[in-house]
Structure 1
């Protein structure tokens, strides 16, 4: 059984848009290959090789995006409870050692943007936060070591995605 890929409507539309753009680009690249073939010797034909590489990339990406779209589970986080950390929850954490507050929103893997506080539900941090409540203290194992956090707040806020 294939695993569903949770995402917001924004994430789904982002994938759909890329899929459509690549489908539109593909015939143009095929034409470039045909034009480049007319130049004769293909062994030293840079245009031909560049177009072939682009076509291979497009085909691989189309396959990947098609799979993602087929497995997409579009979730509206505003309709979910946020008494515990879950998909679409915003969680305010206190790094106990550094006495620093940080805030993350749990999103789908295609929407992740840690610099903007959006982390994928399947990152090590998010996996360890899911199900936690305000007041919980956890030790999170991250690639850079263990960090002790206190969950200060769990709530929903509309997600602002950056393009």
Structure 2
């Protein structure tokens, strides 16, 4: 059973652009490398040719996997998401109850997660622990370093 993933419009467009790039520029570059290696003589003893053919196989595998991801991708409609509780695409302001530190995260799919931009995956320990919580709730989250209690301060879109 294929895993359904939910994406923002920006994330879905980025995946489509990457697939298009792999199919056009990527395939052309590999075909050029194979042709160059073929021109160098005997294929039975040509390591460059073998390497280029291996690269072609890996490239096609990457294309296949990306096509599968796109086939199972669903676009998130932000207008239909309940803003009263934490869900995918929620922007959540949380406070560490022990240290008092406040952090704001946006919950996104795994492929769109980027901690530098404040985007964490709904599949991460913190993301899983926040899902379904409401403002004022406390989320006890188990991370590799132990348990942390976070208070949900604000939820927005």
**Counterparts of residues 83-122 of structure 1 (less than 5 Å):** 83-122=84-123
2:30 aligned residue: 29
Q: Deviations over 1:43-73 (max 9, x none)?
A: 7756435433432332121111101100001
Q: Give the TM-score taking structure 2 as reference length.
A: 0.89
2:6 aligned residue: 6
Question: Alpha carbon RMSD of aligned pairs, Å?
Answer: 1.9
Q: State the distance in 1 between where 2:146 and 2:153 align.
A: 21
Structure having the higher helix fraction is 2
2:15 aligned residue: 15
Deviates more, 1:126-135 or 1:31-40: 31-40
Structure 2 gap ranges (5+) = none
1:143 aligned residue: 144
Q: Give the TM-score taking structure 1 as reference length.
A: 0.86
Contact conserved, 1:7 with 1:109, CA < 8 A, in 2? Answer: no
Contact conserved, 1:77 with 1:87, CA < 8 A, in 2? Answer: no
1:62 aligned residue: 63
CA distance 1:98–1:50, shift in 2 (3 Å): farther
Corresponding residue SS for 1:56: helix
> May I ask how many residue pairs the two structures share in their alignment?
156
Deviates more, 1:27-36 or 1:59-68: 27-36
Q: How far apart are 1:42 and its partner, in Å?
A: 5.3
Q: State the distance in 2 between where 1:49 and 1:77 align.
A: 48
